[in-house]
Amino acid sequence: MQTVIDNFGLLMRGLAVTLQLSALIIVIGTTIGVFGGLGLLYGPAIVRAILRGYVDIVRGTPLLVIIFLIFYGLPALNVDISGFGAAVIAFSLFAGAHVSEIIRGAVAAVPKGQTDAAKALGLTFWPRIGSIILPQALPIILPPWVNTAVEMVKGSSLVVLVSVSDLMFATVKVAERTGDPMPLYITAAAIYIVVNLAISRFGVWLERRISYGVPV
Amino acid sequence: MATARTTTSPREVAAGSSGPMVRIENVHKRFGALEVLKGVNLDVQSGEVVCIIGPSGSGKTTLLRCINFLETYDEGRIYVDNELVGYAERNGRLVPAREKEIARIRAETAMVFQQFNLFPHMTALRNVAFGPVKVRGVPKEQAEQRARELLARVGLAEKADAYPGQLSGGQQQRVAIARALAMEPKVMLFDEVTSALDPELVGEVLAVMQDLAASHGVTMIVVTHEMMFAREAADRVVFMDGGVVVEHGPPDQVIGAPRSERLRTFLRRFTTA
Ligand SMILES: Nc1ncnc2c1ncn2[C@@H]1O[C@H](COP(=O)(O)OP(=O)(O)O)[C@@H](O)[C@H]1O
Ligand SMILES: [Mg+2]
C-alpha cells in the first residue's frame, strides 16, 4: 500500500494522459461516426462504398494491429509521429468505425414517415437531420455509444505498447521499479472502474434528459 | 429519374399568375419495371376541393407524393401555382431542381399522412409551430400564438402541451392537420387520413376536414375511401384506376351516376358495405 501512496503522483499523471487520450478519441471518433453513419445512409454510391469498406475493415481488425500499423507504418512513409499521435489516430479510426455503424443503425431505425413529414414541411437535409432525425435516433444511439466510450478508455491501456505514458504505463513502470505489483495493479483497476462508472452514469443521466413524453 | 426530356410546351408563366393551382400533365411514374402512373392528367383550381377515389394500388398515394416531390416522376410535368415541381428547364430539357427550390415548393404543398407522422419528440404545440419557425422564419412567440389558434380550430386547445404518444389517433391526426395549416400552404394533400383510425375516431377528423373544405380557403386534394365525405365536401371527384384518371366530375355525377364499368364495380363495394 505504501508503494501506491509513494507513487500516487506518478499514477495521477498517468491518469491525466489516459483521460486526455480517451477524451480526444471519443470526440474525434464520434465526429467521424456522425458523418460516417450519415454518409453510409445518404451519401452517393461511391461515398457509401468507401465508408462501407472503412467500417468493415476497421471493425474486423484487432485494435492493436491498427495501432502498430499507424505507429510503425507512418514513419516508414517518412511521416514523423509520436506514440501519442499514433494512438490518437489509430483509436479514433477504430472508434469512428464503430460509432459510424451505431449511428447508421439508429438513424435507419427512425420511421421513414418522419423524413417524409419533415420534407413535406420544406426542410432541407441538414435541418431535417438536426431537428427531426437525430433527436429521435439519440435514445437508440446512446447505450451503445456509452459502451464504445467505455471500451475506448479500457482499450487506451494498449498504448503502453507504443510507450505513451498513460495510467497503465505508469503502473507498469512503478511495479517494475518497486517489485511490488499487486497493490499497484489493483489501484489501476480501481481507477479504470471509477472512470468508466462515471461515463456510464453520465450516459444514464443523458438518457433521462433526452427522453420525452410517453414512448411512441 | 430525370432523364433528358424535350419540352413539348415551353411555359414561361410566373408564379401567382392565373392558371390552375395544380396542373398535372401526362405524368408517368415507374418503380423499377412496374409502371404505377401511366399518364395522369389533372388540373385543380385555386380553392377547389378534389377528392380522389379508386381501388388500392391504383396509384393515388404515388400521385400525391409526386405533387410535393416526395417521389420523383419519370415523364410529364407537374406545376404548383405555375411552378414546375422537382425539375428545372434548361435548353428545353428537364434537370433535377436544386434542393432549396424543391424545399420551397414543398413548403407550399402541405401533406397530411395516413400514419400522422407527428414528430414524437415535440409537443403538439411545437409540432404545429415548428414548420413556420424553422422554414418560414416566423418569430417563435408569434408562431406559437398562431399554433394555439390552429389547435383550437381543430378542437385541441387543451392538448397543446401533450406529446403525440399521449394522444389518440384522431387527436394526432387533428394535430397533423393543424401542423399542415400552420404553413399557410397553397395546396393541402390528404392521403387516406382516416384509414388508420379506429372507426369511432373517424368522425372527429372528417368534421375538421369538412369545415376546412367548406371555407374554401385552401386548395385541397383528398385521397379518401369515405364516399359520404367525397359527396358532401368535394367540388369534384376523380376516379383513378390502373394508374390513370378514368372519370372525373361533380360528386353527384361521378358517385351518383358512374359512366364506366370500372367505377361502377368499384362503387358497388361501398353500397353493399
Ligand atoms: N416505393 C415503392 N416501391 C415500389 N413499388 C411501390 C412503391 N410505392 C408504391 N408502389 C407500388 O405502386 C402501386 C401503387 O401504389 P399506391 O400509389 O400506394 O396506390 P394507392 O395509394 O392507390 O393504393 C402499388 O402496386 C404499390 O405496390
Ligand atoms: Mg394509398
Q: Which residues of chain A have pLDDT under 50?
A: 213-216
Closest CA in chain B for residue A139? B121
Assess whether pLDDT exceeds 70 at residue B14: no
Contact: B162, A213; criterion CB under 8 Å: yes
Q: What is the pLDDT of residue B25?
A: 96
Render pLDDT for B131-152 as a digit per residue (tens, 0 to 9). Answer: 999 999 999 999 999 999 999 9
CA distance B259 to chain A (A): 36
Mean pLDDT computed over B245-258: 95
Q: Which of the four pLDDT bands, split at 50, 70 and 90, describes residue B1?
A: very low
Q: What is the pLDDT of residue A161?
A: 86
Q: What is the pLDDT of residue A212?
A: 64
CA distance A140 to chain B (A): 13
**B258/B236 Cα distance (integer angstroms):** 13
Share of chain B above pLDDT 90, in %: 88
Mention every residue, 6+ apart, whose C-beta is less than 8 A from residue B44. Answer: B20, B21, B22, B23, B50, B187, B219, B221
- Contact between A210 and B161 under an 8 Å Cβ cutoff? The reply is no
Contact: B166, A213; criterion CB under 8 Å: yes
Closest CA in chain B for residue A137? B121
- Contact between A54 and A36 under an 8 Å Cβ cutoff? The reply is yes
Cell 509513494, located at residue: A6
Chain A segment 196-215 residues within 8 A of B by beta carbon are: 212-215
- For residue B36 and ligand 1, the question of a CB distance below 6 A is answered with yes
The count of residues in chain A is 216
Bridge partners, residue B75, by sequence: B28
**A143/A125 Cα distance (integer angstroms):** 26
Nearest to B121 among A113, A121, A136 (CB): A136
Q: Which of the four pLDDT bands, split at 50, 70 and 90, describes residue B196?
A: very high
- Give the ligand 1 atom nearest the CA of B192: 21
Q: What is the pLDDT of residue B170?
A: 96
Q: A87-122 burial, b for 16+ CB within 10 Å, e for fewer?
A: bbbbbbbbbbbbbbbbbbbbbeebeeebbbbbbbbb
Render pLDDT for B36-89 as a digit per residue (tens, 0 to 9). Answer: 999 999 999 999 999 999 999 999 999 999 999 999 999 999 999 999 999 998
Q: What is the pLDDT of residue B272?
A: 55
Q: What is the pLDDT of residue B124?
A: 97
Mean pLDDT computed over B228-253: 96
Ramachandran assignment for B35, one of left (phi > 0), alpha (psi -120 to 50 degrees), beta (any other): beta
Q: What is the pLDDT of residue A2?
A: 83
Q: Which of the four pLDDT bands, split at 50, 70 and 90, describes residue B262?
A: very high
Mention every residue, 6+ apart, whose C-beta is less than 8 A from residue A215. Answer: B165
Contact: B121, A135; criterion CB under 8 Å: yes
Which CA distances in Å does B264 have to B55, B236, B270? 12, 17, 10
3-class SS letters over chain B: CCCCCECCCCCCCCCCCCCCCEEEEEEEEEECCEEEEEEEEEEECCCCEEEEECCCCCCHHHHHHHHCCCCCCCEEEEEECCEECCEEEECCEEEECCHHHHHHHHHHEEEECCCCCCCCCCCHHHHHHHHHHHHHCCCHHHHHHHHHHHHHHCCCHHHCCCCHHHCCHHHHHHHHHHHHHHCCCCEEEEECCCCCCCHHHHHHHHHHHHHHHHHCCCEEEEECCCHHHHHHHCCEEEEEECCEEEEEECHHHHCCCCCCHHHHHHHHHHHHC
Q: What is the pLDDT of residue B16?
A: 53
Q: What is the pLDDT of residue A210?
A: 79
- Give the ligand 1 atom nearest the CA of B59: 17
Q: What is the pLDDT of residue A209?
A: 82
Residues of B with a Cβ under 8 Å from any A Cβ are 68, 70, 99-100, 103-104, 106-111, 113, 115, 117-121, 123, 130-131, 134-135, 162-166, 179, 183
Q: What is the pLDDT of residue B96?
A: 93
**A3/A9 Cα distance (integer angstroms):** 11
- Contact between A106 and A33 under an 8 Å Cβ cutoff? The reply is no
- For residue B224 and ligand 1, the question of a CB distance below 6 A is answered with no
Least Cα distance to B204 among B159, B147, B254, B161 occurs for: B159
Q: What is the pLDDT of residue A75?
A: 87
For a substitution probing ligand 1, which of B61, B67, B239 has the most ligand atoms within 8 Å of its CB?
Answer: B61
Contact: B117, A136; criterion CB under 8 Å: no
Which chain residues have CB less than 5 Å from ligand 2, an ion?
A: B 61
Q: Which of the four pLDDT bands, split at 50, 70 and 90, describes residue B19?
A: confident
Q: What is the pLDDT of residue B6?
A: 40
Assess whether pLDDT exceeds 60 at residue B259: yes
All domains of chain A, ordered by start, with CATH? 2-211 (1.10.3720.10)
- Give the ligand 1 atom nearest the CA of B60: 22
